[in-house]
Amino acid sequence: MALPILKGLLRGYVQSLFNEGIVNNHFSQIQTLKSDADPDCAVRLINIYLLDVERMLSELTCLSDLPDVDFSKLATLARSIEEKSSLVGAEHVRSACADLIQACERMQKQK
């Protein structure tokens, strides 16, 4: 009896993420990858994404803390994060990366 309630709560939460624009349809597509042969496929893909992006964000932070910031390197990292985020449907992260890329390009032109 508790499992249907939890599934309903999860569906409602995921729907709220869509409604708020945090995730997009790519996220739904990942959820459909679950199969009898590989029931943890979606979880594994999202975990890989999170680990990769966490590493890249740490690198981005280190680069931005340097006295002489290399905006082209920051933009390259942001593009990688943007691409990975687009593939898993992490819309807010993708959008933030797009903004960061534009800012890096403006700063690079000013140098």
pTM of the entire predicted model: 0.85
Q: Which domains does the chain have, with CATH numbers?
A: 2-110 (1.20.120.160)
pLDDT in tens, 39-72: 788 889 999 999 999 999 999 999 999 999 999 9
User: Does the pLDDT at position 23 exceed 70?
Assistant: yes
Q: What string of DSSP letters covers 40-84?
A: THHHHHHHHHHHHHHHHHHHHHHHHTSSS--HHHHHHHHHHHHHH
Quote the pLDDT of residue 110: 84
Percent of the chain residues topping a pLDDT of 70: 98
Residue 1's pLDDT is: 61
**Which uninterrupted H or E stretch holds 22?**
none
The confidence band for 2, taking pLDDT boundaries of 50, 70 and 90, is confident
- pLDDT at residue 91 tops 90: yes
- pLDDT band of residue 28 (cuts 50, 70, 90) is confident
Report which of residues 7 and 78 the model is more confident about: 78
